[in-house]
Amino acid sequence: MTEHFDLVIRNGAVATPNGIESLDIGIAERRIVALGKIAAGRAEQEFDATGLTVLPGVIDTQVHFREPGLEHKEDLASGTAGAALGGVTAIFEMPNTTPNTLDKAALDDKLTRAKGRAWVDHAFFMGASDANAGKLGELEMLPGCAGVKIFMGSSTGSLLVADDETLEEVLRHGHRRVAIHAEDEMRLRERLALVKDGADPDQHPVWRDVETAVRATRRVLKIARKAGRRIHVLHVSTADEMAILAEHKDIATVEVLTHHLTLAAPDCYKRLGTFAQMNPPVRDQHHQDGIWAALRSGVVDCIGSDHAPHTKEEKARPYPQSPSGMPGVQTLLPVMLDHMAKGRLTLQRLIDLTSAGPARIYNIRGKGRIALGYDADFSVVDLKAKKTITNEWMATKAGWTPYHGMEITGWPMATIIRGSIVMRDGELLGRPDGAPVRFQETIQPQD
């Protein structure tokens, strides 16, 4: 056993691969080097976790931090601050910034911007388009790249991959798992007339209906099988898709969002109006029940936030001029802890969905579990704490959350990243020191 440690975490209930255990964690050179009883006086720093549960670091694999180009909504500093305050230790950021992340230069720019400003570890998706399809096999291997992201719908400009021919071309170049936003662009255009001249926000799931999602998911599964490519279907919002995806688990992993697990139509639109608007939409209780059933039966592989902030002024525009998206990275863990407290999922399942699952899906190196040799990433929580989520707590530049006023049980008390205590008792500590996430399949920079 190592003679001296940089940090020892003591007296916590530790979520190891064996289950919850009472043991000490010894950390040296940013990694876990000891699990067991550690004698006093052997550490530079000690963390007393009495009464707390030490989870593997939560990984949010879908966020939009808006930098570069849209920094009035969010940037890498504010977005990662919110992540750390919410107990999240690593994030994967999406490519629909301005400019889009479509080449090495754009990826390198984001990595440079994050250095010394990001509070948590990070990786960035490469966007797929008809212009870079042939190069994606090389681009996905770059250090700091989380993989390739395909937008099949949502009118995302040059990132849109709407037709089957381009979709197949993208899927045939490369071998890492591809993240998919599955909404059928042709059906969206056909149905836009339902709302384009103005409508109540509760018509959002009518315009972007269940068939819009189902059609896209069926299409991408067929093409992925033809191309021999593994896919990861993001923010699945319908019970119908879950039944389909259950039959294709050999090639498809599945993400669900806290928003779709927690909010339901029509109530959310009555309470929040356009502030509940997102893509794909929050749907009715039948679909929420179907998502929970898929989560319990193992069809769902991970939970993301799809943190997509817009200012209050932007969200207050009349529908459908109002932009889609809600903040979520800071509330992901508290909201899911509350679901656990209410008996909707077990702690073991929550850990799988927020750390082990993301690591497995994306072949993350050295993260996702509390085990010897792994990065010393921990989300330290109080499972019994009763708190209220408020707009004032949010670090996002948007300054609001759809969960304002929600009373919950379970709260992140500390965020530890590679052995550094980044957040404790609601306060950020030290300086931003987030580093690029490493992957088994990508080119690794020299240490």
Clarify whether 306 is annotated catalytic: yes
Rounded average pLDDT over 265-290: 98
DSSP 254-322: EEEEHHHHH--BTHHHHHHGGGG--SSPP-BHHHHHHHHHHHHTT---EEE--B----HHHHTSPTTTS
pLDDT tens, position by position, 241-270: 999 999 999 999 999 999 999 999 999 999
pLDDT tens, position by position, 160-213: 888 999 999 999 999 999 999 999 999 999 999 999 999 999 999 999 999 999
pLDDT at 157: 53
Q: What is the DSSP letter of 356?
A: I
Mean pLDDT of the chain: 96
Selected catalytic residue, list 301, 306, 377, 382: 306
pLDDT tens, position by position, 341-399: 999 999 999 999 999 999 999 999 999 999 999 999 999 999 999 999 999 999 999 99
pLDDT at 444: 73
What is the value of pTM for the model shown?
Answer: 0.97
Go through the domains of the chain in sequence order and give each one's CATH number: 5-54+372-384+403-428 (2.30.40.10), 57-362 (3.20.20.140)
How crowded is the C-beta side of 114, counted as CA atoms within 13 Å?
27
Going by C-alpha positions, the residue among 269, 336, 262 that lies closest to residue 59 is 336
**Could you tell me the strand order of the sheet in which 145-151 lies?**
58-63, 88-93, 121-127, 145-151, 178-181, 231-233, 252-257, 302-304
- Could you give the CA distance from residue 435 to residue 438 in angstroms, rounded to a whole number? 9
Q: Does residue 38 surpass a pLDDT of 90? A: yes
